[in-house]
A and B are shown apart, each in its own frame.
Chain A
Amino acid sequence: MTDRGTIIEINGPLVRARLPGIASGEQVRLGEMALTGEVIGLDGDRALIQVYESTEMLRPGEGVTPLGYPLSVELGPGLLGGIFDGIQRPLKNLRDQAGDHIPRGLDVPVLDRDKLWSFTPNPELKAGQEIRGGILLGKVQETASIEHRILAPPDISGELVELAGAGDYNLRQVIARIHTPLNGIRELKLFHRWPVRIPRPYARRHEGVAPLLTGQRILDTFFPLLKGGKGAIPGPFGAGKTMLQQQIARWTNADIVIYVGCGERGNELVDILESFPQLTDPYSGRSLMERTLLVANTSNMPVVAREASIYLGVTLAEYFRDQGHDVVMLADSTSRWAEALREVAGRLGQMPVEEGYPAYLASRLASFYERAGRVKTLSGESGSVSLIGAVSPPGGDFSEPVTNHTKDIIQTFWALSKPLADARHYPSVSWIESFSDAVEAAAKWWSKEVDPNWQEKRILALNLLSAAEELARIINLVGAEALSPQQRWTVEMATLVREGLLQQNALDDVDSYCSPQKQFALLDLIIGLYQQGQELVKANVPVSALLALPLLSRTRRCKNLYGNDQLEELTALGREFQEELEKLHRKYEEQKA
């Protein structure tokens, strides 16, 4: 805490100060209110500081104190189930200390320093052994479902002097001493700090092999994302972005979910905070909150911390990845993050390129998404970070810069459609505009784990939908009467795919989560029906006779009727259908004869 500087100018969240000897990226405290800020530019002895809190009533002449380290995150037990603001202040503690509103300049420790954790040391480590960064020191059972692995900070190496034995420790206590060649003895605790803007190192990258399952048919079956993949959900307001993200957070088969509410509504986070503790994780059977971590910079919170919140979230994700977990980070919304960049760039007088965004928008987006991936960690385990970013294009225009650049970077694009949402078709993921580069890899998994015919049926369903789209144009010009019986059957069956398969009501108890097995059973049922019906139509059985089958309206509802554990009912329905269709066929054959 040396080198005090002086404020020269205040322009909204940007402050210029005389601050010789400061490093770019270093954190500072400003004025009597002790506001937190970060140095983002240097010009001789002048530093440009972006301030995470409102600068109202700050004045030139007040002092600046450097903190000596860049914006960093505390990593250790006690993170899960927590909710933090954009610079990792725990919001629960803030409320306990300061009431309902967030005051300025408050400094609270991130992780509870006094809580005791039951630590089990890594039995393979012996004193005198060579230690590298990222190595496993021991374990703490953080929640019933999540084991927190205590890792040596990635930037350390040296000789292990001492490792604590099994027992209860708090975050102040030393659990290991390491003799480093350069800095002598370093004491390690259950937590360490890491700068958020620097990706955490890993041993090497792997290709993604398993899909990240979400229980949502339009995502898993039609536009899959891999564990370690990057996806985007663009959509105009009211298209259901938040709802879809919450569904993913709820049902995904990842070990840890990090949800970053970046410049979005306060009530949405409350919704998660109130509902998640009551929901159970479908895989571990424990409360969902035990595997969830929230970062909240709502739209009324200071804009500069919004920019930081995304990096905070992804660093947390990497930390859990390094422990060998599969982590999903959901960022809602990356557009607000880009706008925060734009706001700061504008105040810096940087040249705007597209819609006022600075020229480095694309590279910042790319380097953020690049932090996703499936890796071999420094401790030799396999872990992954999957990144899913919501995008809020102005006016729903997908050609705007943020959507456009994001599209170039990501592998899976879940485009939300306003017309579908207006007709209350949810999830409103468009089967025309969405894409996934991960189908091939996912197909291997589905074919091995669920059914070898997955890819074939999936393509049939997509072709059926696009054929119907073509026919819809004809109908709009000349009416449905102009269609041939074949075409009419295609249109009707595409409707069945939409209603019986793609639509999925998040609020429905039975259908909110659909297991991969049920996803395939429904797909198989509907595609089977389409193909058999097609044969009958070719054999001149009138379409109206097919449509009059009472089984048809049951098929439309069977996603809600049969749960994930009632697949044999779906198979039985398929058989029943086959019999009905054969009967119908015979009847018409006889009539002909």
Chain B
Amino acid sequence: MKEKEYRYASAAHNGLLFLKSVPGVAFGDRVSIRDQHGRKRNGQVILSSNELVMVQILEGTDDVNLEDIWVRFLEEPFEMPLSPDVLGRVFNGIGEPRDDRPPIVSRLRRNVNGQPLNPIARAYPREFIQTGISAIDGLNSLVRGQKLPIFSGSGLPHNKLAAQIVRQSKLLGEESRFVVVFAAMGVSYADAQFFREDFESNGVLGNVVMFTNLADDPPIERLILPRTAMTVAEYLAFDLDLHVLVVLTDMTYYAEALREVATAKGDVPTRKGYPGYLYSDLAEIYERAGRVRERHGSITMVPVVSMPSDDITHPIPDLTGYITEGQIVLSRELNNQDLYPPVNIPPSLSRLMKDGIGKDDTREDHPRVANQLYAAYAKALEVRNLASIIGPDELPDLDRKYLKFADGFEQRFLAQGMDEDRSIIQTLNIAWDLLSGLPRDVLSRVTEADLARYHHWNSGT
């Protein structure tokens, strides 16, 4: 069908443009608009009938003269042109260059919404990625093809942690590094610049594709941005066989943009005003990470989710946690003690860890050590609580050992430098140093053989 063009719209508000009596417009069609000042805007059809067409305008509907407007229906969905030249470039949410260089020209263009991956085409992720960060490698291991978000809060060092993961991540015994797709939604210029400089100072900028929609850019474009970014990530991973690390920051601003549009459309609000389809919408983005059978590349995803008021039950982190394969939770309390990285261990989890660690992947004792550290730290936190009420001197001997364990765990295991790249063996050895401060018979999560091999007899009881 031919492109259609109209010179008149009947209403515009809250980022939505309404046209009457425009028959046969496709749902999801891409729309190009020129306002009375000659400025171009982009839109997408979100409801279509012969009587009424509703178009969502990515740049918003402020300052639009309804009687002096050009609306063109392009007869195509949003697509991203793809070629190896995307590496080293900076784009906006719909794939237009933001770096003063020419647009990508390619015959290969893909719908940014992608198509759902057939579950049986997936390969189960099981290759351990060493991030050099003990809290992750030792206790919440990341594997290639996993989606592991960082749940954070305002003022917490999630950007530093994400940058450190990007910098240090590698596969044991392999030299190949990751290429990075970086998607910034609603973050400040300073935050985006921090990543850019970090990539630059590590000389990896040529292996990074950046998509930015900053805090002062039109928010509705954020709804397309992660989809465009994932389209590029899929191309790099499954067409070019590269291992891709995707950083999405900050998914909370994405979800807020979604709520803004949903409210304007009149969708039924559910918890905290978010639409009922927030879960499915987030899943459409997150589930594009993974591995595919018979394909060499992979997409590993680290989304950053800032928890409003540090509330992990807020719909955005909550629904994210139901989709992603675990979460790294940051703690304000540890951060206030100047501890980096301030990972809140009890609620943190990596679901894919079990298949990526152990005998042939990291070290034979790793799964049980992780389990034991969790259990001992949980017990130690209970004791610390008690100590704050009745005083440490009143505690039995064993409990005092637990207190010492908790301190050592935080200061020696969790805490590390922003440039400190620990091997998994170093991480596990620190763990055993700490566990050796506890008597052998309370360590029920490790085996007798583990104890014989790694528990230091002398420093023990």
Contacts and interface: CB of A to CB of B under 8 A. Distances in A.
Interface of A: 8-12, 16, 54-61, 83, 91-92, 94-95, 99-104, 236-238, 261, 263, 265-267, 269-271, 273-274, 296, 298-303, 336, 339, 342-343, 345-346, 352, 355-356, 392, 394-397, 418, 422-425, 475-481, 499, 505, 507, 553, 556-557
Interface in B247-292: 267-271, 275-277, 279-280, 283-284, 286-288, 290, 292
A55 B283 contact: no
Contacts of A102: 115-118
Interface string B6-39: 0000000000000000011111110000000000
B50 to A, nearest CB: 5
Given A55-B28, A58-B27, A343 B277 contact: yes
A302 B277 CA distance: 11
Contact of B283 (A10, A94, A299): A299
Interface in B57-88: 77
7 contacts: A9-B47, A56-B26, A104-B115, A267-B325, A273-B119, A300-B116, A556-B444
Contacts of B279: 263, 299, 336, 339
B443 to A, nearest CB: 10
A479 B390 contact: yes
A556 B367 CA distance: 19
The 9 closest A-B pairs by CB, nearest first: A395-B313, A299-B283, A9-B49, A300-B287, A423-B378, A56-B28, A101-B115, A356-B270, A237-B321
Nearest to A274: B124
Interface residues of B, number: 83
A505 B77 CA distance: 49
A238 B327 CA distance: 9
A340 B302 CA distance: 27
B325 A57 contact: no
Contacts of B286: 299
Contacts of A54: 113
A423 to B, nearest CB: 4
A300 B284 contact: yes
Contact of B124 (A94, A263, A267): A267
B153 interface: no
Contacts of B314: 395
B77 A57 contact: yes
A505 B283 CA distance: 30
Contacts of B321: 236-238
B326 interface: yes
B441 interface: yes
A476 B389 contact: yes
A176 B218 CA distance: 67
Contacts, number: 212
A450 to B, nearest CB: 27
Given A61-B50, A303-B280, A346 B268 contact: yes
B315 A394 contact: yes
B119 A266 contact: yes
Nearest to B25: A59
Contacts of A301: 116
Contacts of B325: 265, 267
Contact of A477 (B120, B375, B389): B389
B374 interface: yes
Interface in B111-165: 111, 113-125, 145
Interface in B385-409: 385-386, 389-390, 394-396, 399
A180 to B, nearest CB: 40
B444 A499 contact: yes
B48 A59 contact: yes
Nearest to A345: B268
Contact of B280 (A9, A16, A103, A299): A299
B323 interface: yes
B136 to A, nearest CB: 16
A159 B399 CA distance: 80
Contacts of A423: 346, 374-375, 378-379
Interface in B345-391: 346-347, 349, 351-352, 354-355, 367, 371, 374-375, 378-379, 385-386, 389-390
A265 B279 CA distance: 12
A11 B120 contact: no
Which of B25, B268, B270, B349: most chain A Cβ within 10 A? B268
Contacts of B115: 101-104
A350 to B, nearest CB: 9
Contacts of B322: 237, 392
B197 interface: no
Contacts of B124: 267, 270-271, 274
B47 to A, nearest CB: 5
Contacts of B268: 342, 345-346, 352, 356
Contact of B122 (A267, A418, A422): A267
A346 B313 CA distance: 23
A59 B25 CA distance: 6
B5 interface: no
